[in-house]
């Protein structure tokens, strides 16, 4: 089979186009349930949602940016681990919708974003009441809730997988210290450290957002859109020196309406409750990881205690061996002195002296060894 150069070029172009499609693919879902798959570059996204390049850059997968929730004039920019999305008051854009970790979030957005029509019949009153409550929530908060739920569930699932693998491995290491078990625990500890950093970044971002009411107010896109499109905000009439009889009442109503609008702008209780719920969930996940780390630290302390005990036993054995070596050296010294080929006058006709020298030297060395051991026991250098 002969492959021409043109066919190879076509295959290379198709592969490069496929890579470009994966890296540039977006899915757009609006409040009516309609969805559109987009294959555009970042400049088209900037024109579509009216966003600055610096805000879009934090969602670039080639760049390393921490988890961020940014509120802008018309959009909310989300960079939460693998979920990168842009939320407006009418639609939401999710990057890389074909990613295995992003697919569940996209499916949940398809299910929960469209406005539900109230059903008919007496048996559906409860579901209708629930649907009406969901429809009262602004679109951007429903999309934000789905994304936060997805990232919290994802991290919680990874934490449960880590717990399932960590506890048996630590128990096995406690029962048998080996290179294989130590390497397994080392890999689990590295994975736990990376996961803890990811969870901590999400928790820190939610905490910073909850601490600043102004940042939370920036996420009310529907409210800002309603205020900017209201007739009172566009009314720029010049001064009128001819007062009408009902002019004072109109001024009073206008001031009261502006006070109500200002109060609504400062009211972030709805979003605060939403963020607090997922802050508690992500904090619970962080507590689980903290518990696993404490279990790992306890296991390491237990192993270090075992190793110290073995080390102390080796030191005791070394003490006994050293004491025995010293005593045997004394015995060898006496044997070496009497074994020298030197003519002694008292060595003749005194063969019985050899027996007494051997016996007395052995008794002296044995008593010296026992005295060393008793001294070590008395000072607590060896166990009783």
Mean pLDDT of the chain: 78
Cα 114 from Cα 143, distance rounded (Å): 10
* Residue 92: closest CA among 202, 273, 221, 212: 221
Chain position carrying tokens 């625990």: 185
Task: Report in angstroms the alpha-carbon separations of 108 from 41, 146, 148, 154, 274.
Answer: 25, 7, 12, 13, 17
**CB atoms closer than 10 angstroms to residue 281:** 18
Is the pTM higher than 0.95? The answer reads no
Chain position carrying tokens 């854009």: 93
Among 34-38, 339-343, 375-379, top mean pLDDT goes to: 34-38
Q: What pLDDT, on a 0 to 100 scale, did the predictor assign at position 227?
A: 79
pLDDT tens sequence across 183-217 = 999 999 999 999 999 999 999 999 999 998 888 88
Lowest mean per-residue pLDDT among 155-169, 254-268, 287-301, 304-318: 254-268
Residue 177 has pLDDT above 60, yes or no: yes
Q: 67 phi and psi, to 5 degrees?
A: -60, 130
Question: In the structure, what pLDDT confidence band is assigned to residue 290 with cuts at 50, 70 and 90?
Answer: very high
Residue 305 has pLDDT above 70, yes or no: yes
Question: In the structure, what pLDDT confidence band is assigned to residue 262 with cuts at 50, 70 and 90?
Answer: very low
pLDDT tens sequence across 229-244 = 765 545 544 444 334 4
Question: In the structure, what pLDDT confidence band is assigned to residue 131 with cuts at 50, 70 and 90?
Answer: low
pLDDT tens sequence across 67-125 = 889 888 889 999 998 899 999 988 999 998 988 999 999 999 999 888 765 444 444 45
Cα 223 from Cα 244, distance rounded (Å): 33
Buried b (16+ CB within 10 A) or exposed e, 212-233: eeebbbbbbbebbbeeeeeeee
Of all residues in the chain, what percent carry a pLDDT higher than 70?
75
Of all residues in the chain, what percent carry a pLDDT higher than 90?
30
Structure tokens at 368: 């010296």
- List the alpha helices (DSSP H) in 244-268: 247-266
Structure tokens at 20: 């470009």
Q: What is the mean pLDDT of residues 48-65?
A: 85
Question: In the structure, what pLDDT confidence band is assigned to residue 380 with cuts at 50, 70 and 90?
Answer: confident
Q: What pLDDT, on a 0 to 100 scale, did the predictor assign at position 133?
A: 52
Residue 50 has pLDDT above 50, yes or no: yes
Residue 284 has pLDDT above 60, yes or no: yes
pLDDT tens sequence across 361-376 = 888 888 888 888 888 8
pLDDT tens sequence across 20-46 = 444 578 999 988 888 889 888 888 888
* Residue 268: closest CA among 203, 202, 208, 211: 211
Q: What pLDDT, on a 0 to 100 scale, did the predictor assign at position 345?
A: 66
């Amino acid at each position: 089979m002969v492959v021409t150069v043109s066919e190879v070029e076509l295959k290379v172009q198709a592969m490069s186009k496929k890579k470009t499609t994966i890296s540039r693919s977006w899915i757009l879902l609006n409040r009516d349930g309609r969805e559109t798959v987009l294959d555009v570059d970042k400049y088209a996204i900037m024109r579509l949602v009216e966003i600055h390049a610096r805000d879009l850059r934090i969602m670039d997968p080639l760049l390393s940016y921490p988890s961020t929730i940014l509120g802008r004039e018309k959009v909310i920019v989300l960079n939460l681990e693998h979920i990168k999305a842009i939320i407006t008051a009418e639609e939401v854009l999710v990057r890389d919708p074909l990613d295995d970790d992003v697919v569940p979030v996209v499916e949940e957005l398809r299910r929960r974003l469209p406005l539900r029509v109230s059903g008919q019949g007496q048996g559906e009153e409860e579901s209708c009441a629930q649907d009406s409550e969901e429809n009262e929530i602004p679109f951007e908060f429903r999309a934000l809730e789905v994304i936060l739920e997805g990232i919290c569930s994802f991290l919680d699932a990874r934490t449960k997988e880590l717990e399932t693998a960590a506890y048996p491995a630590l128990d096995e290491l406690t029962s048998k210290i080996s290179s294989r078990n130590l390497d397994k625990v080392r890999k689990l500890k590295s994975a736990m450290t990376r996961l803890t950093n990811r969870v901590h970044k999400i928790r820190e971002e939610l905490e910073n957002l909850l601490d600043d009411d102004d940042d939370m107010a920036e996420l009310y896109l529907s409210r800002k859109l309603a205020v900017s499109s209201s007739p009172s905000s566009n009314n720029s009439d010049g001064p009128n020196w001819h007062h009408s009889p009902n002019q004072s009442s109109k001024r009073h109503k206008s001031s009261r309406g502006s006070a109500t609008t200002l109060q609504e702008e400062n009211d972030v209780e709805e979003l605060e409750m939403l963020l607090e719920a997922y802050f508690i969930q992500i904090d619970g996940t962080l507590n689980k990881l903290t518990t696993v780390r404490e279990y790992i630290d306890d296991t390491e302390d237990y192993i270090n205690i075992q190793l110290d005990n073995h080390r102390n036993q080796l030191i005791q054995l070394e003490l006994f061996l050293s004491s025995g070596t010293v005593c045997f050296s004394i015995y060898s010294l006496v044997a070496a002195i009497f074994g020298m080929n030197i003519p002694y006058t008292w060595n003749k006709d005194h063969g019985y002296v050899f027996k007494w020298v051997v016996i007395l030297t052995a008794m002296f060395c044995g008593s010296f060894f026992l005295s060393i051991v008793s001294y070590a026991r008395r000072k607590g250098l060896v166990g009783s």
